[in-house]
Amino acid sequence: MNGVITALIVVGILGLIIGLFLGVASISFKVEVDEKEVAVLEALPGNNCGGCGFPGCSGLAAAIAKGEAPVDQCPVGGKAVAEKIASIMGVEAGASVRKVAYVACNGDCDKAKKDYEYTGVEDCVMALYVPNGGAKSCNYGCLGFGNCVKACPFDAIHVKNGIAVVDKEACKACGKCVEACPKHLISLIPYDSKYAVACSSLDKGPAAMKKCDVACIGCSLCVKSCENEAVSVTDFNATIDQSKCIACGKCFEKCPKGAIVEL
């Protein structure tokens, strides 16, 4: 009986010593938590998509709390989240423009010509290493194997009739598809954009027309029709500066090949 009591006393003393040690350690090694960082993290959507340029929402929250990133850095949260974080940080949210991904190619299976039938691995990066950089005659067109689809965490982009198409309502402008496209056909444009050039070909007009029915031929009619100097042509390909575009539609009406589309 005395042995049992002794054992209980020893165990109790050991427990007390360990408890005191843990208590002291928790105080000594305590990690200070920034309350603003915690609040910002709670305000973020939690998608951890990386579209902000940081490793997940926790990385962005830490950067915002330290003043190393703007309060509207999260592309998924948009204006609502930016305003909430601005309130936490005690600053103005500022004006933010919602953006969406846009694929600058309209050469689907009905419009773009093919040099051969491709039956290999359906991967856009791998297709770059096959003859002519893919089965399509146009070396600048969408390959249609969906690397962008796999990269999108919001199911906002799908391959339809051979080309990638973005659902602008589902898109959060995280930029994952932009990074995934090996031909650099995808960019982020303002959600309210009304017109865009749906071609990335740098071929001269005659060559471009042989490869795709809706290829930009660099004729510059769009440039001449634009009164706001929002359209330019470089290397036989037109570009619309969305910051200058007033959505008059004249470039769209003048384009003889349908390379400029209404969004």
Give how far Cα 56 sits from Cα of 44, 67, 172, Å.
10, 17, 15
Q: What is the pLDDT of residue 25?
A: 61
pLDDT band at 231 (very low <50, low <70, confident <90, very high): very high
Q: What is the pLDDT of residue 16?
A: 77
| Per-residue pLDDT tens over the stretch 58-115 | 888 888 888 888 888 888 888 888 888 888 888 877 667 889 999 999 999 999 999 9
Return the H-helix or E-strand segment holding 235. Answer: none
Architecture of domain 97-192: 2-Layer Sandwich (3.30)
Q: What is the pLDDT of residue 262?
A: 96
Terminal Cα distance for the chain, rounded: 88
Other C-beta atoms closer than 10 Å to the C-beta of 154 total 17
Distance CA 24, CA 11 (A): 20
Three-state DSSP string of 138-168: CCCCCCCCCHHHHHCCCCCEEEECCEEEECC
CATH 1.10.15.40 domain locations along the chain: 35-89
Distance CA 157, CA 103 (A): 10
Q: Buried (b) or exposed (e) across 37-67, using 16+ Cβ within 10 A?
A: bebbbebbeebbbbbbebeebebbbbbbbee
Distance CA 144, CA 260 (A): 20
**Domain 193-263 -> CATH class:** alpha beta
Q: pLDDT at residue 53 above 60?
A: yes
DSSP category for residue 131: G
Q: What is the pLDDT of residue 32?
A: 59
Q: What is the pLDDT of residue 91?
A: 81
Q: What is the pLDDT of residue 28?
A: 61
Q: What is the pLDDT of residue 84?
A: 87
pLDDT band at 42 (very low <50, low <70, confident <90, very high): confident
Q: What is the pLDDT of residue 116?
A: 92
Q: What is the pLDDT of residue 40?
A: 85
Q: What is the pLDDT of residue 29?
A: 58
Q: pLDDT at residue 3 above 70?
A: no
Q: Give the CATH number of domain 35-89; options: 1.10.1060.10, 1.10.15.40, 3.20.20.140, 3.10.450.50.
A: 1.10.15.40
Q: What is the pLDDT of residue 163?
A: 96
| Per-residue pLDDT tens over the stretch 151-188 | 999 999 999 999 999 999 999 898 999 999 999 999 99
CATH 3.30.70.20 domain locations along the chain: 97-192, 193-263
Beta strands in the chain (DSSP E): 99-103, 157-160, 163-166, 186-190, 195-197, 231-234, 237-240, 260-262
For residue 240, which phi and psi values (nearest 5 degrees)? -105, 125
Cβ proximity of 215 and 203 under 8 Å = yes
Q: Which residue has the tokens 């070396």?
A: 139
Distance CA 250, CA 164 (A): 26
| Per-residue pLDDT tens over the stretch 101-138 | 999 999 999 999 999 998 888 999 999 899 888 899 99
Cβ proximity of 236 and 203 under 8 Å = yes
